Amino acid sequence: MSLLQLVDLDVRYGAIQALSAVSVEVQQGEIVALLGANGAGKTTTLRTISGLARPWKGSVLFAGQEIHRLPPHEVVGLGVGHVPEGRRIFPQMSVQENLEMGAYRRRGNLSQDMERVYALFPVLKQRRRQDGGTLSGGEQQMLAIGRALMSDPRLLLLDEPSMGLAPLVVETIFSIIEQIRSSGTTILLVEQNAVQALQLADRGYVLENGRVVMADQAGVLLNDQRVRAAYLGEGAA
Amino acid sequence: MCFSCFTQNFWNLLVLGLADGFLYALVAIGYTLVYGVLQLINFAHSEVFMSGAFAGYFILNGLIGTGSPHGLSSVAYVVIGIAGGACGGGVIAFLLERVAYRPLRRRHAPRLAFLISAIGASFFLYNLAGKEFGRDAVEIPAPFTNGPVFSIFGAQVTTYYIVIAVSAIAMLVILDRVVAGTRLGKGLRAVAQDAETASLMGVNIDRVVSQTFVLGGLLGGAAGFLFGLNTGVVYTMGFTPALKAFTAAVLGGIGNLRGAMVGGLLLGVVENFGAGLFGTQWRDVVSFGILVLVLLVRPTGLLGERLGRSA
């Protein structure tokens, strides 16, 4: 059974149609990449899953349950962690408080989860008393991912984790995404950086003007002429 | 202007100013908390203040009647009065959010709609109080016998001032701890910093907004009771002190908790110094002159706008 199923989603912002008949499936344990140009609807797709945007038509099924009418604070309780575009860490909370915010809906002792995040991102442990706003871009991205992991998600939504980061930092982030998957968390990844995303992902979807125009195994997309032309900066030969 | 009146009365004015300032601070926090999470000035907060005063009045009237308590029972009545005032303020603040603001938030109404709704709610509440509780001021039965306890540099510090200072400091410290350390406080700060992301973390924004109004209402209501102990209680009593507390919140930096505390104390003191210098009839002119000045010169206030800080 698929963990996440988007069925025929239409999303509108006023008169603007952001998504049209988008259907996406994510199986348990997969990394699925969502690719496309700016404004193609990638972020809107993630926002619809986590309840920040409401579909006009269609449905979102998570572990078989309809979740598209739930408010965001309930969706996260079901096991959907969302690392939003631009990281959006709380700038005036310490690193530790940011991580605690990630576990806002959970009760009981969180020190083990906290240690797990610190093990993935040792630099966060060094900076745990520092305000989130004082971290570098890469550290903020790590914090945003760590914060989402603190909700103990079954599905992690990552919106452009490589945005604005140096290549070396991007490598680190991507290798940690792989580690997170191998520890059992399913990942839906939105990326502009199509090559790296497809090298990491099992499958991919390509969005254009709010529609899914291609869906295939990552390896197939990586070698597809049209994908290479449109997203990998190669002229259509 | 009478400079010698001022220098002769300096310590008196300072004590008076601090007492007023503590009350302004308690009320200012209500403005600043709500502004922090919603970027909205709750101009009906004056009626929260008034409701607290009435709640305290009714409770103490029922309990004390014509008696004159002293000793431990005085302490008990003060605590009961403050708690009653706080509850009255909290309930009204909760209802205000539900009835006057939440429906507007739901339909993403423009800013102006909130302002109009606030003014409407304020008119409704104080006229309702006037109709139900009478148009004349009533006196809260004194829970203690007021009199000088000690003096500093000739300025007499009375029981009333001590009650204000002790209870206000206690409430401010508790509030500070709540915002810094509790789950509610963390949710509140997260919403103030980035509401949408807070909701992704599992924060129920509607609930936090509601709790924020109640928190501000508790302090505002308690302040109303403390204020009413001295001035009596009447349906129009909220307007001027609340507007001054708003000035204090702006002075300290609206949205900034510590700012509201500092702004309140500062305004109380400056206002009384002004009264000493120019005559008491200039009191309100001094306060609102400060409001105009701050808005012109430094609209973010002394400490800047920030609720996000863990105080």
Contact call for B308 and A92, based on CB within 8 A: yes
Which residues of A have a CB under 8 Å from any CB of B?
A: 50-52, 71-73, 76-77, 82, 84, 88-94, 97, 100-102, 104-105, 147, 151
CA dist B122 and B14 (Å) reads 32
Nearest to B193 among A71, A90, A94 (CB): A90
Domains of chain A from N-terminus onward: 1-26+55-69 (no CATH), 71-187 (3.40.50.300)
Contact call for B202 and A73, based on CB within 8 A: yes
Contact call for B198 and A101, based on CB within 8 A: yes
How close is the nearest chain B Cα to the Cα of A236, in Å? 40
- Please tell me whether residue B172 adopts helix, strand or coil conformation: helix
> Which amino acid is located at A122 in the chain?
P
Contact call for B201 and A147, based on CB within 8 A: yes
Phi-psi region of A3 (alpha: psi -120 to 50; beta: other; left: phi over 0): alpha
How close is the nearest chain B Cα to the Cα of A100, in Å? 9
- Please tell me whether residue A107 adopts helix, strand or coil conformation: coil
Q: Which two tokens stand for residue A23?
A: 């259907």
What local confidence, expressed as pLDDT, does residue B310 receive?
47
Phi, psi of A236, rounded to the nearest 5 degrees: -70, 105
What local confidence, expressed as pLDDT, does residue B81 receive?
97
Q: Is residue B130 packed enough to be buried (19+ CB in 10 Å), middle (13-18) or exposed (0-12)?
A: middle
Which residues are CB-contacts of B70 (< 8 A; sequence separation ≥ 6)?
A: B144, B145
Q: What Rg value do the Cα atoms of chain A yield, rounded? A: 17
What local confidence, expressed as pLDDT, does residue B308 receive?
56
Which residues are CB-contacts of A41 (< 8 A; sequence separation ≥ 6)?
A: A11, A18, A19, A22, A207, A209, A210, A211
CA dist B32 and B253 (Å) reads 8
What local confidence, expressed as pLDDT, does residue A234 receive?
59
Q: Which two tokens stand for residue A12?
A: 């509108």
User: Using N-to-C axis directions, what is the helix angle for B159-181 and B72-96, rounded to 10°?
Assistant: 50
Phi-psi region of B5 (alpha: psi -120 to 50; beta: other; left: phi over 0): alpha
Phi, psi of A13, rounded to the nearest 5 degrees: -110, 100
**Substitution target from B193, B200, B207 for chain A, most A beta carbons within 10 A:** B200
> Which amino acid is located at B55 in the chain?
A
Residue B129 and residue B141 in contact, taking contact as beta carbons nearer than 8 Å: no
Contact call for A151 and B201, based on CB within 8 A: yes
Which residues are CB-contacts of B148 (< 8 A; sequence separation ≥ 6)?
A: B156, B157, B158
CA dist B94 and B105 (Å) reads 15
Phi, psi of A8, rounded to the nearest 5 degrees: 55, 45
CA dist B120 and A21 (Å) reads 45
Beta strands in chain B (DSSP E): 148-152, 155-158
> Which amino acid is located at B156 in the chain?
Q
Four-CA torsion B208, B212, B214, B219, nearest 10 degrees: 160
> pLDDT tens per residue, chain B (311 residues)?
788 888 888 999 999 999 999 999 999 999 999 999 999 999 999 999 999 999 999 999 999 888 888 889 999 999 999 999 999 999 999 999 999 999 999 999 999 999 999 999 999 999 999 999 999 999 999 999 999 999 989 899 999 999 999 999 999 999 999 999 899 999 999 999 999 999 999 999 999 999 999 999 999 999 999 999 999 999 999 999 999 999 999 999 998 999 999 999 999 999 999 999 998 899 999 999 999 999 898 888 888 766 555 44
Residues of chain B with Cβ-Cβ distance to A97 below 8 Å are 186, 310
**pLDDT averages per 10-residue partition of chain A, 237 residues:** 94 92 96 92 96 96 96 97 96 96 92 95 96 95 97 97 93 95 96 91 95 94 84 55
**Distance from the first to the final alpha carbon of chain B:** 40
How close is the nearest chain A Cα to the Cα of B216, in Å? 22
Q: What is the ipTM of this complex?
A: 0.94
**Substitution target from A67, A93, A101, A159 for chain B, most B beta carbons within 10 A:** A101
CA dist B201 and A150 (Å) reads 9
Nearest to A73 among B186, B193, B199 (CB): B199
Contact call for B201 and A101, based on CB within 8 A: yes
- Label the pairing between strands A186-191 and A16-27: unpaired
How close is the nearest chain A Cα to the Cα of B201, in Å? 5
Which residues are CB-contacts of B203 (< 8 A; sequence separation ≥ 6)?
A: A73, A101, A104, B187, B190, B191
Residue B46 and residue B242 in contact, taking contact as beta carbons nearer than 8 Å: yes
Instruction: Give the residues across from A220 on adjacent strands.
Output: none
Nearest-by-CA chain B residue for A76: B202
Phi, psi of A154, rounded to the nearest 5 degrees: -85, -30
Residue A200 and residue A167 in contact, taking contact as beta carbons nearer than 8 Å: no
- Which of A94, A125, A133, A51 has the alpha carbon at shortest distance from B186? A94
Contact call for A52 and B196, based on CB within 8 A: yes
Phi, psi of B54, rounded to the nearest 5 degrees: -65, -40
How close is the nearest chain A Cα to the Cα of B79, in Å? 34
Nearest-by-CA chain B residue for A53: B196
Q: Please identify which residue in the block is written with the tokens 């969706």.
A: A75
Per-domain boundaries in chain B: 29-246
For residue B43, how many other CB atoms are within 10 A of its CB? 20
Which residues of B have a CB under 8 Å from any CB of A?
A: 183, 186-187, 189-190, 193-194, 196-205, 306, 308-310
Q: Which two tokens stand for residue B170?
A: 């206690």
Phi-psi region of B162 (alpha: psi -120 to 50; beta: other; left: phi over 0): alpha
Nearest-by-CA chain B residue for A149: B201
Residues of chain B with Cβ-Cβ distance to A73 below 8 Å are 199, 201-205
Nearest to B202 among A88, A89, A105 (CB): A105
- Which of A142, A4, A117, A21 has the alpha carbon at shortest distance from A68? A4
> Which amino acid is located at B254 in the chain?
I
Residues of chain A with Cβ-Cβ distance to B201 below 8 Å are 73, 76, 101-102, 104-105, 147, 151
Residues of chain A with Cβ-Cβ distance to B188 below 8 Å are none
What local confidence, expressed as pLDDT, does residue A4 receive?
97
Residues of chain A with Cβ-Cβ distance to B181 below 8 Å are none
Q: Please identify which residue in the block is written with the tokens 């959006």.
A: A88
Residues of chain B with Cβ-Cβ distance to A147 below 8 Å are 201
**Substitution target from A76, A90, A110 for chain B, most B beta carbons within 10 A:** A90
Residues of chain A with Cβ-Cβ distance to B189 below 8 Å are 90, 92-93
For A160-223, give the secondary structure using H, E and C. CCCCCCCHHHHHHHHHHHHHHHHCCCEEEEEECCHHHHHHHCCEEEEEECCEEEEEEEHHHHHC
Instruction: List, for residues B51-84, the tens digit of each pLDDT value.
Output: 999 999 999 999 988 888 888 999 999 999 999 9
- Please tell me whether residue B135 adopts helix, strand or coil conformation: coil
What local confidence, expressed as pLDDT, does residue B66 receive?
82
Instruction: List, for residues A126-158, the tens digit of each pLDDT value.
Output: 999 999 999 999 999 999 999 999 999 999 999
Residues of chain A with Cβ-Cβ distance to B200 below 8 Å are 50, 52, 72, 76, 82, 84
